[in-house]
Structure 1
């Protein structure tokens, strides 16, 4: 009896393999965080530490993957463009200290505006197409990973990293390092989820293309 599963669904062996790879990636990143905490006395979770630099690398990778989705397939142009804008703006924001020190104070805000405003204009102008594209990929594994990464990075990490929370927990033993570690490591995990989401999205559009090729053969 032929399978009734959607032909673009991820197969079980591939799902297990990717799950193992993702677990190893998260484990490697957390090992790097531990190395930073143990080996960089006085410099833990600074702008030049492992966690901050890895955040920038993850954001650059996620932005490049979103750009690849935009360039390699025509099905999600508005969704991919919005992702490029969001991830690119986050990448620029992570370089705020560097840009303020070596370009001019407030440079990152200017660069983010130059990137985000045209992206929003295009997406809003094509909002009906954007909604249709979003509905097409909303039930995918990639979308689930992106939603988890977005909530972790832009909501949970901000609330979890509040000074008031850590002052209440630690009392007289409060040190800013605890607050910084909590916020930065949570952001690191969120950015990791966003990279995985863009990787899964790229694989999804590749599967769509293969299906199109097969149906047209």
Structure 2
């Protein structure tokens, strides 16, 4: 218990903060596993567009947008860049709701609101090109940049390639069931979203701390 008693020592403060962040990451990942287990083993409906796994992905992505919206609010020096990032993740969030738009309007309709967000955010970012470029440079130098980049690679590249139907049809052969392929693909994607939120949250906390120091 003494380990988690907040210490006045600067060194122990750093250790405690890192341990708390580690526990936060474990909690986020365990929640992801719980969603997958619930869909497959408890609810027995697999992992589809209306599953807990999909819902948790959408929640995490929404929280990522909220993190950068908070950064946009507290850090006035690089607002143009941060709005560009908000636009990027908002487009991803809209894409995650493609099934909703398909049922509500027409198949593929999600492209239009996403395109609108892209145009608005890009136009705003281009109003201050130097500020946007400076924001990109500072972002790449932040400790959470690599984590966010890795998460995006998992979501946008690895989960798609690793979840290819042809691969799992070959691996499982006559025992192939689509549930196995969906579980792998959506599970890896959910891990990516978990890492994305963890690093976006850490980035927002770091920007908040830097803003307080500057003031």
TM bucket normalised to smaller: 0.7 to 0.9
Please report how far the alpha carbon of residue 124 of structure 1 lies from its aligned counterpart in structure 2 after TM superposition: 4.2
Q: In the aligned structure 2, how far is the partner of 1:157 from the partner of 1:115?
A: 25
Match of 2:112 in 1: 110
**Contact 2:101 2:107 (8 Å CA) reproduced:** yes
1:67 to 2:69 alignment = yes
Match of 2:6 in 1: none
Match of 1:152 in 2: 154
TM-score by length of 1: 0.87
**Contact 1:141 1:200 (8 Å CA) reproduced:** no
Match of 2:22 in 1: 19
Q: In the aligned structure 2, how far is the partner of 1:96 from the partner of 1:212?
A: 42
Q: In the aligned structure 2, how far is the partner of 1:190 from the partner of 1:75?
A: 29
Please report how far the alpha carbon of residue 40 of structure 1 lies from its aligned counterpart in structure 2 after TM superposition: 2.4
Unaligned runs of 5+ in 2: 1-12
Q: Secondary structure at the match of 2:155?
A: helix
Between stretches 183-192 and 135-144, larger displacement belongs to 135-144
Q: Secondary structure at the match of 1:76?
A: helix
For this pair of structures, how many residues does the alignment match? Answer: 204
Match of 2:85 in 1: 83
Please report how far the alpha carbon of residue 15 of structure 1 lies from its aligned counterpart in structure 2 after TM superposition: 1.1
**Which residue among 166, 174, 177 is the counterpart of 2:176?**
174
Q: In the aligned structure 1, how far is the partner of 2:74 from the partner of 2:204?
A: 9
CA-atom RMSD in angstroms: 1.8
**Which residue among 38, 43, 46 is the counterpart of 2:41?**
38
Match of 1:96 in 2: 98
Match of 2:53 in 1: 51
Q: Secondary structure at the match of 1:135?
A: helix
1:132 to 2:128 alignment = no
Match of 1:4 in 2: none
TM-score by length of 2: 0.87
Please report how far the alpha carbon of residue 75 of structure 1 lies from its aligned counterpart in structure 2 after TM superposition: 3.0
Please report how far the alpha carbon of residue 192 of structure 1 lies from its aligned counterpart in structure 2 after TM superposition: 1.3
